[in-house]
Amino acid sequence: MARKASIIGGGVIGGGWAARFLLNGWDVSVFDTDPEAERKIGEVIANARRSLPALYDKALPAEGRLSFHTDLAEAVSGADWVQESVPERLDLKHRVLGALCEAAPATAVIGSSTSGFKPSELNEKGARAVVAHPFNPVYLLPLVELVGAASETDRAAEILRSIGMFPLIVRKEIDAHIADRLLEAVWRESLWLVKDGVATTAEIDEAIRMGFGLRWAQMGLFETYRIAGGEAGMKHFMAQFGPCLQWPWTKLMDVPEFNDDLVDLIAGQSDAQSGHLSIRELERLRDDNLVGMMRALRKSGSGAGGVLKAHEATFAEPKGATLPVTVERQVPTSWTDYNGHMNETHYLEAGAQATDRFMEIIGADAAYVAAGRSYFTVESHVRFLDEVKAGERLRVTTQVLGGEGKKMHLFHRLERGDGALAATVETLLLHMDLTARRSSEPAPDIAAKLAEFTAAHAGLPRPEGAGRHVGQRA
């Protein structure tokens, strides 16, 4: 039975929460009195459907059910998680959280998306909420700052990990928690740089995204500076650059006067910088870039990529096919080319992923490779039969054509989500001794498992296209 999340407030953050839970198999109920709430959240969820599955090499769980409500008690009935995402006004949060604590099940986690309020402030009227502060887009970025009673934050953290997020438990109450205090420092200094005519909004954004923003994405602040210290490490860095902290470089303790002139200056430069794109176009550009960077980090397990790998390891394996399903995933934008469809390289990559998965199925997994044995591809033949576009589902089944001795002969069928055959990849592999770098017989248990598949698939029709050479007529 699916678990249920109730989202209170359907703005940008509330919509992101709804998408994150929904696409991870939870039923989601939304409470919002805005008559446009269903449309707005629907657009956020559409963006999430386009981007979140593209992070993974396995299929996300089947979507839960989405419902909209104008009655608060009805919305939170039976909820396991209730997320308040109303505007950042303490009096409003007091009223909403008080009503939630009365209406929600006693076992439900009640989280507040507040950017700045402390739990003691949120609960001073008798509520029992914890701070669960996410980052936009909630459906892609894993960080959630948790602040509150240890018993509640521990329980909340377990749920958040199950939907692919990274809970960071803040050990001490503090205004604006951790991440927003860091952002506030950069934001404040940036306002001064614009106000004083030193830089435009576009120039400041270039300084971030062309330099330290890339470093921060995979190492954060302190690990980045440790490297800057060279072989002597952090102590050397602190000794070298620490004294400059006393120099009058920044204006962090001063606040520029927040008047109409400053607002008009910032807004005008922002319009000139990005006004040619709609908000939805900017969101999709942001999401595509995040997917690309996070997938790159996934390979090394760094930063958000490590969270993705750990989350995907919990996914159930696909079932129900005559042949084993070795890949079931969504095609990311980074796999497409100037023709608007999946580039030929990635058809082979999908086939390679299917081979790797089949090796895991027969026991030739990471531990087997670490022990010094593996299979190496010696020949592949790809047939391109139909287009596949970004966002489409890709499902690969694998048939064993031969598995005697050192050889493993596989035939992968790549199908689109509508069942159309998009490509086939035929692959011949040899078992290798990684120490001697020579072909060798597989371990007996691997050979036995491969023999089971070979015998089971021997009675199947030989797949059309098997054994073809380049240029051969159909």
Last residue of a domain, one of 161, 177, 193: 177
Last residue of a domain, one of 134, 152, 177: 177
Q: Is 169 helix (H, G, I), strand (E, B) or coil?
A: strand
Instruction: In whole angstroms, give the CA distance from residue 328 to residue 298.
Output: 18
Does 14 appear as a known binding residue?
A: yes
Instruction: Count the domains in the chain.
Output: 3
Range of the domain at 152: 4-177
CATH number of the domain to which 242 belongs: 1.10.1040.10
pLDDT at 132: 98
pLDDT at 320: 59
Q: Smallest Cα–Cα separation from 342: which of 284, 396, 298, 379?
A: 396
- Are β-strands 27-31 and 166-169 bridged in parallel, bridged antiparallel, or unpaired? unpaired
**Residue 153 is inside which H or E element, if any?**
helix 150-162
**Residue 219 is inside which H or E element, if any?**
helix 213-219
Same domain for 199 and 250, yes or no, is yes
Same domain for 334 and 422, yes or no, is yes
Instruction: In whole angstroms, give the CA distance from residue 152 to residue 246.
Output: 41
Q: Across the chain, how many H-helices and E-strands are there?
A: 17, 14
Residues 6+ apart with CB under 8 A from 463: 399, 401, 411, 413, 424
pTM of the model: 0.84
Are 288 and 296 a contacting pair, CB within 8 Å? Answer: no
Same domain for 127 and 259, yes or no, is no
Same domain for 87 and 215, yes or no, is no
Q: Is residue 402 part of a domain?
A: yes
Does 28 appear as a known binding residue?
A: no
Same domain for 91 and 230, yes or no, is no
Does 12 appear as a known binding residue?
A: yes
* pLDDT per residue as tens, the chain (474 positions): 789 999 999 999 999 999 999 999 999 999 999 999 999 999 999 999 999 999 998 889 999 999 999 999 999 999 999 999 999 999 999 999 999 999 999 999 999 999 999 999 999 999 999 999 999 999 999 999 999 999 999 999 999 999 999 999 999 999 999 999 999 999 999 999 999 999 999 999 999 999 999 888 888 888 888 888 888 888 888 888 777 767 776 777 777 887 899 889 988 999 998 889 888 898 988 999 899 899 889 888 888 999 999 999 998 876 656 899 999 999 998 899 888 899 999 999 999 999 999 999 999 999 999 999 999 999 999 999 999 998 899 999 999 999 999 999 999 999 998 999 999 999 999 999 999 999 999 999 999 999 999 999 999 999 999 998 888 877
Q: Is residue 19 part of a domain?
A: yes
Same domain for 386 and 452, yes or no, is yes
pLDDT at 380: 96
pLDDT at 259: 86
Does 11 appear as a known binding residue?
A: yes
Q: Is residue 288 part of a domain?
A: no
pLDDT at 235: 84
**Sequential DSSP letters for 269-296:** HHHHHHTTS-HHHHHHHHHHHHHHHHHH
Same domain for 230 and 103, yes or no, is no
**Residue 110 is inside which H or E element, if any?**
strand 109-112
Distances (CA, A) of 393 to 16, 270, 316, 330, 420: 22, 37, 17, 4, 11
Helices 279-300 and 37-51 sit at what angle, rounded to 10 degrees?
Answer: 40
Does 9 appear as a known binding residue?
A: yes
pLDDT at 321: 63
**Residue owning tokens 């959240």:** 41
- Are β-strands 27-31 and 4-8 bridged in parallel, bridged antiparallel, or unpaired? parallel
Same domain for 97 and 241, yes or no, is no
Whether residue 442 has a cis bond before it, omega within 30° of 0: no
- Chain centroid offset of residue 289 CA: 12
DSSP at 129: -
Q: Is residue 252 part of a domain?
A: yes
